[in-house]
Amino acid sequence: MFEAMIWGGAAISLAGLAGLIWCILRVNRARKAGLSDADLRAAVQAVLPWNLGALFLSVIGLMLVILGISLA
């Protein structure tokens, strides 16, 4: 049972990492597009909730991995 918790947590953490990479690429694409300061700020603000969600998902996954290791 705890092995499933470890692997599930690792999968959740990898999904969060993929979300973080997506956020980085999206902001980098907006920076390279040569947008004005206001448009760039709007693009970053649009990505911010996704970034926080991905970070939260990654942290929850790592917590599951640590909990599964400590209980095993």
What residue segments make up the domains of the chain, in order of their start? Answer: 2-71
pLDDT tier for residue 67 given thresholds of 50, 70 and 90: very high
What DSSP line would sit under 25-60, residue for residue? Answer: HHHHHHHHTT--HHHHHHHHHHHHHHHHHHHHHHHH
pLDDT tier for residue 72 given thresholds of 50, 70 and 90: confident
What is residue 2's predicted lDDT score, i.e. its pLDDT?
A: 87
What is residue 52's predicted lDDT score, i.e. its pLDDT?
A: 97
What is the CA angle 2-3-7, rounded to 5? 120
CA dist 12 and 72 (Å) reads: 19
What is the CA angle 7-11-12, rounded to 5? 115
Predicted confidence (pLDDT) per residue in 13-64, tens digit: 999 999 999 999 999 999 999 889 999 999 999 999 999 999 999 999 999 9
